[in-house]
Amino acid sequence: MYQEELKREVRELLRSRNAVLLAHNYMRDEIQEIADITGDSLALSQEAAATAAEVIVFCGVHFMAESASILAPEKVVLLPRLDAGCPMADMVSVEGLRELKGRHPGVPVVTYVNSSAAVKAESDICCTSANALRVVESLPDDEIIFVPDRNLGRYVARFSSKTFHFWEGFCPTHERMTTEGILRLKGEHPDALFVCHPECAPGIVELADHVCSTTGMYDWCRQSSARQFIIGTEAGILYRLRQENPEKEFILASPALFCPNMKLTSLEDIVHALQSMSPTVKVPEEIRSPARRALERMLAVPRD
Ligand code: 13P
Ligand code: SF4
């Protein structure tokens, strides 16, 4: 009951502040339930760039709120939990990227959006898990530097003839899956299809029937005629999968698929953020301008 009151309070505050609530697909169920838009990193950055609202409440992690601030500098971007970071994004620094660029002069940098604004500002173009191959193939160059996710980079490289220079970053949540665990689940559920995120390690990807972004999983599982799915990404995705497909069964590929940062934000935090209009995320102009170029270049890559 208390939760229902909080949800109502959030919706009222959103109205009175002319605010939009954007939530990543990994957020807690109750936040996904009341969000204006839920989506993957690509959909949420497109929405941040397009929304008419004056305030964006970003329920996700820090780099996502930064992207919203980069694309919509005139708006107030609230990140209800400033401590919601992304360990993968923290694995690459500006200095480290400059050093890698120094070793491959003239080679363009493709940066996964799971990165800081400052790293994006050092990059030629961004990508998400939904468009990474399209982004890579949109470049005329035969060589690219790909940061920070080694797994997404290696997955994309399988479909490209370009030479890749990787950064050895990774998502600790997705890397907690084991091949033994997947093989055991496949044995227990022989009719189930296994779908996983490209942030998974290559040995896991090898076992998958399909590899895609979080929003890609909704589409693929909805369209599939299979009845059982083993899901290889963060647990938050199960909320909408189960809602949209009540007749299908979704089995999490590992109980360790739980991103602590994605689970930090609560309804209370959102109420507090909208009442106090803090904490905000604002990217300084000298970083915003080059970072925006990299993000907008990504958004301009045509869809298939
Ligand atoms: P997508 O929702 O873009 O697939 O990203 C997954 C992720 O790990 C976000 O932090
Ligand atoms: Fe970062 Fe992985 Fe959490 Fe996504 S799931 S925010 S990549 S640690």
Q: How many helices (DSSP H) and strands (DSSP E) are in the chain?
A: 14, 12
pLDDT of 8 > 70? The answer is yes
* Residue 179 placed within a domain: yes
Ligand 2 centre distance from Cα of residue 158 (Å): 23
131 Cβ contact list (under 8 Å, min separation 6): 42, 298, 301, 303
CA of 288 to the centre of ligand 1 (A): 22
Q: Do 94 and 163 sit in the same domain of this protein?
A: yes
Please check whether residue 52 lies inside any domain of the structure: yes
pLDDT digits (tens, 9 = 90+) for 85-140: 999 999 999 999 999 999 999 999 999 999 999 999 999 999 999 999 999 999 99
**Does some domain include residue 49?**
yes
Question: For residue 5, how far is the Cα from the chain centroid?
Answer: 29
Ligand 2 site, CB within 6 A: 61, 86-88, 114, 171-173, 199, 234, 259, 261-262
Ligand with smallest separation from the Cα of 171: 2
Cα(86) to ligand 2 centroid in Å equals: 5
Say if residue 41's pLDDT is above 90.
no
Mean pLDDT of 137-160: 98
Q: Whose CA is nearest to atom 2 of ligand 1?
A: 40
Ligand 2 centroid to 171 CA: how many Å?
A: 6
Six-digit token pair at 275? 């009442």
Domain count, the chain: 3
**Looking at the structure, do residues 74 and 6 belong to the same domain, yes or no?**
yes
How does residue 1 score in pLDDT terms, banded at 50, 70 and 90?
Answer: low
| Domain shared by 81 and 92, yes or no | no
Residue 226 domain-assigned (yes or no): yes
- Domain with residue 223: its CATH number is 3.40.50.10800
Residue 44 token pair: 């949420």
Confidence (pLDDT) at 112: 97
Tell me the residue range of the domain where 156 lies: 88-170+287-299
Q: What is the DSSP letter of 6?
A: H
Q: Which atom of ligand 2 is nearest to the CA of 89?
A: 1
Closest Cα to atom 3, ligand 2: which residue?
Answer: 259
189-229 pLDDT tens trace? 999 999 999 999 999 999 999 999 998 999 999 999 999 99
